[in-house]
């Protein structure tokens, strides 16, 4: 299961979402506009920075849109 923490209007989040759509990779989106989701993200990654990808099957969690796009292309396309 792939989870992507996002924020509405974030261009870096949009970049990752567009890449996932192009690669036909389903993502569960969690928007940090919800304070509970924001707190969940900080508990996981240590900061409220988005995008943040969680690949629970592979035990991978990462920030940075370019790194996330590269990971999706390498591991899930």
Delimit the domains of the chain by residue range. 2-76
* Average pLDDT score over residue span 42-53: 96
What fold is seen in the domain 2-76? Glutaredoxin (3.40.30)
**pLDDT at residue number 77:** 67
Query: Quick one: pLDDT band at residue 76, thresholds 50, 70, 90?
Result: confident
Q: 74 by DSSP, 3-state: which?
A: helix
Instruction: Assess whether pLDDT exceeds 90 at residue 68.
Output: yes
pLDDT given for residue 18 in this prediction:
98
Measured CA angle at 31 (ends 27, 32), to 5 deg: 135
* Kind of pairing between the strands at 2-6 and 28-31: parallel
Mean pLDDT score, 43-70 = 96
What is the pLDDT averaged over residues 53-76? 95
pTM of the full structure: 0.94
């Amino acid at each position: 299961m792939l989870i992507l923490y996002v924020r509405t209007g974030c261009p870096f989040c949009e970049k990752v979402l567009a890449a996932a759509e192009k690669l036909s990779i389903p993502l569960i989106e969690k928007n940090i506009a919800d304070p509970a989701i924001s707190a969940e993200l900080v508990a996981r990654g240590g900061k409220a920075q988005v995008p943040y990808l969680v690949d629970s099957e592979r035990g991978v969690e990462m920030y940075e849109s370019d790194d996330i796009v590269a990971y999706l292309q390498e591991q899930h396309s």
